[in-house]
Amino acid sequence: MDLYDNLALGFATVWKIIWLPWPAMGIAIPLPANLLLCFVGCLVGTLVGVLPGVGPIATIAMLLPVTYGLDPIGALIMLAGIYYGAQYGGSTTAILVNIPGEATAVVTVLDGHQMAKQGRAGVALGIAAIGSFIAGTFATLVIASLAVPLTRMALLFGPADYFALMVLGLMFAVVLARGSIPKAIGMILVGVLLSTVGSDLETGEERLTFGWTEISDGLDFAIIAMGIFGFAEIVKNLENPETRNVVQAAIGRLLPNGRDMRQSAWPIARGTMIGSFLGLLPGNGAVLGPFASYTLEKKIAADPTRFGTGAIEGVAGPESANNAGAQTAFIPLLTLGIPPNAVMALMVGAMTIHGIVPGPQIITKQPNLFWGMIASMWIGNLMLLIINLPLIGLWVKLLKVPYRLMFPAIVLFCCIGIYSINNSSLDVLMVAAFGLFGYTLLKFGFEPAPMLLGFVLGRLMEEKLRQSLVISRGSFMTFLECGGTLPFCTKPRLILLILAVLLVIIAALPSIRRKRETVFE
Amino acid sequence: MADTSSDAKSEKREGRFVKAPETLAAGVFLLVLAEIGFWGSIGIAAGTLAKMGAGMFPRVVSLLIGALGVFLVVQSFTVRGPALERWLGRGVVFVLGAAVVFGLTIRGFSLGSLVVPPLGLAVAGPLAVIIASLADRETRWLEIILYAAFLNVLCFVVFKQLLRLPIPIAPWLLGY
C-alpha cells in the first residue's frame, strides 16, 4: 500500500542517523539529529504553551534565525513541534492556574481547574494528554491520507481557481474572527495592502515605500508577527494584572481510572473529529475547535449542569480538538502551498530560507521532507505524552515565576531574535513600530489575526489575479467559468466563489450573528 | 471602581451624537490607512485589466479600505457601540521603548552630531531589560539589575556560544 510505503519513508527520515562533526574533539559523532530536533521542538513548545503570555507565534519568529544553520528537514520538524507542543502545554496552565496558557486552552479552564480544586488535577492532566495523543495520531493519519489526493487536485488548479480558493479562505477567516464583520474585512484588506509594500514582482516599480529603500524587498512577516504577537500582547497583558494562584491541592494520580476513561472516550472521539475539520479552515479554525467541542459535549450530556463544576468530558473533548486542529492546519500549507494561519506563514518563511517553495510540488520533489514531517508529528505526540506527565513538577515551578520578571526577558529574546533574522538593527525599530500599530488595532477593537492572514496571502492573490486576467484578456467572466453544468464543474473557481459569498451571507443573518457573538464571549 | 465610572460614562453618552466612539475611531483609522495606501501608489501606472500595472492592485485595495472606513464612521453615528478603551501609556512607552533603545545601541547609529558607537549585547541587552521592566509598577530595582545581568549571561551562552548567532557582544571591549 502506498500510504504504508510513504509513512515508512517518513519514519526512516526521522530516525536517520547523521554524523555531526564535533570540532572541539576533532571527531564526528552519530546522532539521530531529526529525532533530537523533534524532541527540542516539543520541549520548547510545551514550555511556551505552559507560560501564559508567550505564544508559539512569537517563539517561532524568535527561533527562525536559529534554524538557518540547520538542515531544512530538521528545522521544519522542530518548528512544527513547537506549534503542536504548545497545545499540550497550554492545558497544563489552564488546569493548574485557572488561566489559559494558550488561546486554544480557554475552555479547558472551565472544568479543568475545577477538577484540580477537587484534587483531581492529575487526572485532568492525564486525560488531556491521552486525548491529545489520540487526536494527534488521528490527525497524522488524516494528513497522510489526504495529502496525495489533495496534491493531485491542486495540480489541476489554474490561477483563477487559486484566487477563488484564497478568497474563500479569507472569508472563512472573517467569519471565524471575533468582533464585527466589516472590521474583520477591513483587517484583511489592510494586511493585503501591507503585502504590496516593496517592489512590484513584474515591473520592479517601488510601491508604498515612500522612497525608503530599506523596505523595497517588502515587509518581513516575522517582524509584523513579532510586533503584534510579541510586543503589543505584552502591553495588553500588563493592562490586566493577572492573579496567579497555582492550585494548592495535591496533583494526585495521573492515570484516569476505568470510569474516567469510559466517560471520556466519546468526547475524545468527537473532539478529534471536530478539531480535525475546523483545523483545516483558515484563520481562527484551530482556536474554534475546542469551543465547538465544549458546546457540543454540554449540549448532548445527560446532565449539562455538571459542566463548569469539574466534568471530565469538558477537558477531554476540547483538548483533543485543539491538538487535532493544530496538526490538520498543516494540510493546506503542505498540499496547496497556502498557509491557513500565522504559524503556518512562519513555516513558509522557514521553508523559503532553505529554498523550498511550499506547494503541491513538495510531495513529489521532496518526499522525505514531506513524509518526514508527518511522521515526526506522530513521534512528537508520543514524546509529548512521555515528557509532559513526569515534568509536571517542573512546569508548576515555572508557573510561579511572576510576570514582572517574565516579560522583560521576552522583550530581550524578541529583540535578539529579530535582530538576528537579517542582522539588522532597523528591523528591531520596525518591530517597535508594528508593536504600536498592533496595540492601536487592539484598542480600536480590531482583531489582528485576519490582517496577518491577508498579509500572508496578499502577494500570492495579486499574482494569481493578474495571471488570470492576462489569460482572460481582462475579462472578469473568467471567475464565473465552470467548465460544465453548475454542480458538476471541472473548474472549481465558481463553486469556491459561491461558497465564499454564501459564507458571508450566512454569517450576516441576524440569528447566526447572535450565536457568533455568544461563541466568542 | 473602574467599572462603575465607565457605566456612568456610557449612560451620559446615550443622548450624544456619536453612539459608538470605538467604531468611529476604527473607521477613521481605516480611512487614514486607505489615504496612505492610495498616496503611496498614486504615481504608479495602473495599466489595463488585461495587463494590470503595479499601481492598480494597491489602489483598488486602498479604495476598498476607505469604503469600509466610511461604513464604520456612518455606523458609529447610528448604532450604539462600546466606548474607547483606555491606553496603557506606561506600557507602550517602556516596552516599545526598550526595543527602540536595543535597536539603536546594538550596532550604534549616527544622526547628525549625535553618534552612538556600537555597544553590543553587553550594553543593549541589560538596557532593554531594565527599560522594559519600568512598564510594570511592581518592579524592584535591585532585583531587576541582578536579573538583567543574569539574562545577559544566559543570552551570551545560548545565542553566542551554543547557537553561534552573529550578534555583536561588546565591540568596544572584546572586538566582536
Q: Which of residues 102-131 of B touch A (CB under 8 A)?
A: 102-104, 106-107, 109, 121, 124-125, 128-130
A chain contacts of residue B41, beta-carbon cutoff 8 Å: 196, 207-208
Q: State the nearest Cα–Cα gap between A475 and chain B, in angstroms.
A: 7
Measured at the CA of A199, the angle between CA A198 and CA A201, to 5 degrees, comes to 120
> Cβ neighbours of residue B134 under 8 Å, at least 6 residues apart?
B90, B94
Q: Which of residues 215-254 of A touch B (CB under 8 A)?
A: 231, 234-235, 238-239
Residue in the block written with cell 497583558: A237
Is the interface score ipTM higher than 0.85? yes
Length reported for chain B: 176
Q: State the nearest Cα–Cα gap between A162 and chain B, in angstroms.
A: 17
User: Contact, A443 vs B85, CB < 8 A?
Assistant: yes
Higher pLDDT, A385 or A284: A385
Residue in the block written with cell 534565525: A65
When mean pLDDT is compared over A25-34, A416-425, B167-176, the highest value belongs to A416-425
CB distance A193–B62 less than 8 Å? yes
Q: Which among A339, A308, A395 has a CA at the least distance from the CA of A89?
A: A395
pLDDT digits (tens, 9 = 90+) for A469-518: 999 888 888 888 887 776 677 788 888 899 999 988 887 777 666 666 66
Q: Which among A109, A137, A139, A135 has a CA at the least distance from the CA of A124?
A: A109
What DSSP element (H or E) covers A73?
A: helix A72-97
Q: What is the distance in angstroms between the CA of the first residue and the CA of the last residue of chain A?
A: 47
pLDDT digits (tens, 9 = 90+) for A168-211: 888 888 887 777 888 999 999 999 999 999 888 888 888 888 88
> Where do runs of H (alpha helix) occur along A389-424?
392-399, 403-422
Q: Is B46 on the interface with A (CB under 8 A)?
A: no
B92: nearest CB among A420, A436, A476: A436
Interface test with A, best of B102, B104, B154 (most A CBs within 10 A): B102
CA gap A79, A62 in Å, rounded: 11
Q: Which among A205, A226, A227 has a CA at the least distance from the CA of A216?
A: A205
Confidence (pLDDT) at B99: 96
B chain contacts of residue A189, beta-carbon cutoff 8 Å: 61, 64-65, 68
Phi, psi of A217 (to 5 degrees): -85, 0
Indicate the residue type of B60: V
Average pLDDT over residues B14-30: 85
Mapped onto helix, strand or coil, the DSSP state of residue A475 is coil
A231: nearest CB among B23, B57, B96: B96
A chain contacts of residue B2, beta-carbon cutoff 8 Å: none
CA gap A319, A134 in Å, rounded: 10
Average pLDDT over residues A258-266: 90
Confidence (pLDDT) at A25: 63
Task: State the Cα torsion A251-A255-A259-A262 to the nearest 10°.
Answer: 120
CA gap A238, A404 in Å, rounded: 9
Confidence (pLDDT) at A411: 93
User: Contact, B17 vs B91, CB < 8 A?
Assistant: no
**DSSP summary character for residue B137:** T
Q: Is A28 on the interface with B (CB under 8 A)?
A: no
> Where do runs of H (alpha helix) occur along A99-251?
108-117, 121-155, 159-176, 181-195, 221-225, 233-239
Q: Which among A478, A479, A476, A472 has a CA at the least distance from the CA of A498?
A: A479
Q: For B47, left (φ over 0), alpha (ψ -120 to 50), or beta?
A: left
Half-sphere exposure of A311 (CA within 13 A, CB side): 20
- B9 has a pLDDT exceeding 60: no
pLDDT digits (tens, 9 = 90+) for A347-381: 888 888 888 888 888 888 888 899 999 899 999 98
B54: nearest CB among A200, A426, A435: A200
User: Contact, A49 vs A95, CB < 8 A?
Assistant: no
**What chain B residue is nearest to A209 in terms of C-alpha separation?**
B40
CA gap A485, A210 in Å, rounded: 49
CB distance A193–B65 less than 8 Å? yes
**DSSP summary character for residue A334:** I
Average pLDDT over residues A269-296: 86
- A316 has a pLDDT exceeding 90: yes
Average pLDDT over residues A243-267: 81
Mapped onto helix, strand or coil, the DSSP state of residue B140 is coil
User: Contact, A49 vs A85, CB < 8 A?
Assistant: yes
CA gap A415, B124 in Å, rounded: 10
CB distance B44–A235 less than 8 Å? no
> Where do runs of H (alpha helix) occur along A340-447?
342-353, 362-365, 367-388, 392-399, 403-422, 425-443
Measured at the CA of A286, the angle between CA A86 and CA A122, to 5 degrees, comes to 45
Half-sphere exposure of A297 (CA within 13 A, CB side): 35
A186: nearest CB among B65, B87, B166: B65
Residue in the block written with cell 482572460: A472
Kindly state the greatest CA–CA separation across chain B: 67
Burial class (CB in 10 A: 0-12, 13-18, 19+), A80: buried
A chain contacts of residue B121, beta-carbon cutoff 8 Å: 416
pLDDT digits (tens, 9 = 90+) for B71-117: 999 999 988 888 888 888 899 999 999 999 999 999 988 887 888 88
**What chain B residue is nearest to A70 in terms of C-alpha separation?**
B163
CA gap B22, B44 in Å, rounded: 34
Q: Which among B6, B164, B169 has a CA at the least distance from the CA of B85?
A: B6
Q: Is B169 on the interface with A (CB under 8 A)?
A: no
Question: Per residue, what are the HEC states of A196-249?
Answer: CCEECCCCCCEECCCCCHHHCCCCCHHHHHHHHHHHHHHHHHHHCCCCCCCCCC
Across-strand partners of A29?
A: A20
- A465 has a pLDDT exceeding 90: yes
Across-strand partners of A206?
A: A199
B22-48: b (≥16 Cβ within 10 Å) or e: bbbbbbebbbebbeebbebbeebeebe
User: Contact, A96 vs A396, CB < 8 A?
Assistant: yes
What DSSP element (H or E) covers B116?
A: strand B114-116
- A519 has a pLDDT exceeding 70: no
pLDDT band at A147 (very low <50, low <70, confident <90, very high): confident
Sign of CA pseudo-dihedral A434, A439, A445, A449: positive
